[in-house]
Structure 1
Amino acid sequence: MKVLMIDDDVELGDAMKPVLEKYGISLVQAETPQKGLEMLASCGPDVVLLDMMLPEMDGMTVCHEIRSSDFPKRDIPIIALSARAELTDRIVGLESGVDDYIAKPVELRELVARIRAVKRWPAPSGKPELPAAVVIDETRMVASHDRFTVDLTDLEIQILKALSDAKGNVLSRLQILERIRHSEYSDPAIIDTIVYRLRRKFRLAGSPDDLILTVRGRGYRLVYSRV
């Protein structure tokens, strides 16, 4: 797999290359937004890592350029990199067209999991590639994915169960709020926060893959579910 990193921090990319290669990921670098856009059209990457605080052109603008209707590979998965990882920053980034968001300093094992996850979204068969099930135990307040089990709060269980009941279909944030019977006045951003927490819990438990996938511009879906 080839990943294009658009980031003026060349030393970061140089440090990441040998580690990513161990996971079968080849990293190519572009120090400026313009060079990144040129390389996107020429080197055929599978995923873009995009720094959101670039010189000359900010990451949001670069993302808009990539997503524009006449740009080659406009549907390529984009993972935003930023030292600013507050909830508002993540939401703005996701709504602007990035597929995922990871904070600097980058934890490389997490980055590998995110890269694998975004590449799984457009699977030609339309089916998820990860066969592991998600098993929810509401009595014990835990959920298991593959061999990894985590403790959950009541709200985390409600959201995970709503996604599980959707049987792999995409749910918007508002649809999830409706299914967990939250007030119509609740901030939909709470869903982003809980999804982030669920992903983090499973990663900390050792899971190499995200079980909840972001579908750009639509919402979230579970990779595979069984209750």
Structure 2
Amino acid sequence: MTTPQLLMIEDDQRLAQMVVEYLAQSGFAVSHAGDGARGMAALEQQLPDLVILDLMLPDADGLELCRRIRALPGAAGKVPVLMLTAKGDPMDRIIGLELGADDYLPKPFEPRELLAR
């Protein structure tokens, strides 16, 4: 059985490190990109099993990034996207899901809930 490959696009280095370590202990291989440009490049280089996407990035809007991911050809455009963001308002969640996210987890979050999702 192959190890699930996850890509986390998150600018908060401390949060990313915590999530990467937690998910690694749970059997996932997680790569991290600190901004949208590096995240899209990583996605196109090696197709992950899941993208964990922050909405507020220094160089990109996470909603626009989700839209760009969904517009990619082939399997890359169908990769599951979980939005992990401080924007927890119900309308933000609805917009994220309507733009193609598969799930939406507001910060702060319980790491076990992330793992369960």
TM exceeding 0.5: yes
Structure 2 partner of 1:16: 19
Aligned-residue offset at 1:73: 0.7
For structure 1, list consecutive stretches of 5 or more residues without a partner in the other structure.
115-227
Structure 1 partner of 2:116: 113
**Equivalent pair of 1:65/1:71 in contact (CA under 8 Å):** no
Aligned-residue offset at 1:18: 2.2
The one-character-per-residue Cα deviations of 1:9-29 (angstroms, maximum 9, x if unpaired) are 111111122221221111110
Task: Tell me the TM-score normalized by structure 2.
Answer: 0.90
Q: 1:52 to 1:71 in 2, by over 3 A?
A: farther
Structure 1 partner of 2:35: 32
Aligned residues: 114
The one-character-per-residue Cα deviations of 1:145-166 (angstroms, maximum 9, x if unpaired) are xxxxxxxxxxxxxxxxxxxxxx
What secondary structure sits across from 2:51 in the alignment?
Answer: strand
**Equivalent pair of 1:2/1:45 in contact (CA under 8 Å):** yes
What secondary structure sits across from 2:112 in the alignment?
Answer: helix
> Between the two proteins, what is the percent identity of the paired residues?
39
Is 1:87 aligned with 2:90?
yes
**Higher-Rg member (1/2):** 1
Structure 1 partner of 2:102: 99
Structure 1 partner of 2:10: 7
Q: Which structure's residues are more often helix, by fraction? A: 2
What secondary structure sits across from 1:74 in the alignment?
Answer: helix
Aligned-residue offset at 1:42: 1.1
The one-character-per-residue Cα deviations of 1:40-93 (angstroms, maximum 9, x if unpaired) are 011221000000111221001101110115376100000001111111111011
Task: Tell me the TM-score normalized by structure 1.
Answer: 0.48
Within 1, Cα distance between the matches of 2:73 and 2:19? 32
Is 1:78 aligned with 2:85?
no
Greater RCO, CA 8 A, separation 6+: 2
Runs of 4+ in 1 over 6 A off after TM superposition: none
Within 2, Cα distance between the matches of 1:97 and 1:17? 24
What secondary structure sits across from 1:24 in the alignment?
Answer: coil
Within 2, Cα distance between the matches of 1:82 and 1:17? 16
